Structure 1
Amino acid sequence: MEGFENDLKKVISLEERAKMKASLQELEYNKYSKKRNRSYLFVAASIAVLISFIGYSLIVNQKTSTDDLYAEYFESYRNVIQPITRGVESKNNSTKAFEAYEKGNYKKASTLLIKAYSEDKNNAYLLYQGISFLQLNNSDKAIEVLNKQLEITDKFNIKTHWYLALAYLKNNEVIKAKKSLEKVLDSSGDYKKQEAKSILRNLN
């Protein structure tokens, strides 16, 4: 009987040990799982922060598009060639051209400026033709006319370089646009120098 009791105690003791071991293993597993989950959460959070930072950096450092630069800086040059007298009927093509130009009728202005230029070869007409073509979204024609204006040196050349740069921007011809902007910066006057610097910063 005593031997049976001893064997029973041994069996109970082994069962208790097995239960205790199982409890300890379960506790250890839970602790490891929590630690592992925390590690996963930390890694996931770190990746999310990194992606956000990269995205923000790309947005901040993204260069302004040439179309945006063109839209921001383009505006027509004022009429300094042919003063318009209100109430007086226009007689010649030059007066009619600048009258149309001031009214924003750039299609009519470009046609009349071509006629005016054929009559007296005033090189300034080419500048206003180029601007009119830009207003009509015909940057290729504007480039052609503005480059023609630059064949003869006169006081309008720097303004022509400015509008030529904008026309090249419109065509996404960045290298040519930079060259024209550098001509503006190299000029003796102040015409559009700050604007040229600003555009070049965006292009570089």
Structure 2
Amino acid sequence: MVPWPPSIRASGPGGRRSSAFAHKDLEAATGPRGPASTDHLVQNCGTRHARTARSETEPSDRGATTHWEGEPMRSEEEAPVAEELIDSIGHGRFELYRDGVLVGWLYYTHLKPNRYALRHTEVESSHQHQGVAGAMVRRVLDEIRAREGTITVICPFVADYLSRTTAYADLIDARHPGYPDRAAAESARAKVGGSA
């Protein structure tokens, strides 16, 4: 039996939240004694941590004290990974790290006044087909937006990514937009004879 409140792990931009902070979140969502059912906990807290049960010695539903039987948390290999985007100015690329390991990078050229020509995306072979490139492009575009910059799209993967969403249309430089889709970017790359 796990005493109320169950400990909760949560990670966010600042890393793991303390159990005291998570305790207040859980109590605010479920009340000081906990929810009446697991569904309520899952709906309000987004965890799959606890289920309710009444001990045999407790009275019926009227005034019964609810306690928690803990389910094991997800194993570490299933835990959300910590991602960090680094602007490696010396290499001319944004680098994505997952749990401290370099998993992908996006080469760029920083042009004046504040335009980024996104040239080429690469992912470590051991991390391919894990959503690294898409996550990296999204993080890079968010970073450029935070810097109030614009982009010129040269990389075929970035062109393809942007062709499927309008969320970043405001970042595309009006005078120098680059390629509108993957086919145009790959065609241009083939004419030049290679990659960046």
Q: TM-score, normalised by structure 2?
A: 0.24
Q: State the structure with more CA Rg.
A: 1
The structure, 1 or 2, with the larger RCO (C-alpha pairs under 8 Å, 6+ apart) is 1
Which structure shows the bigger proportion of residues in helix conformation? 1
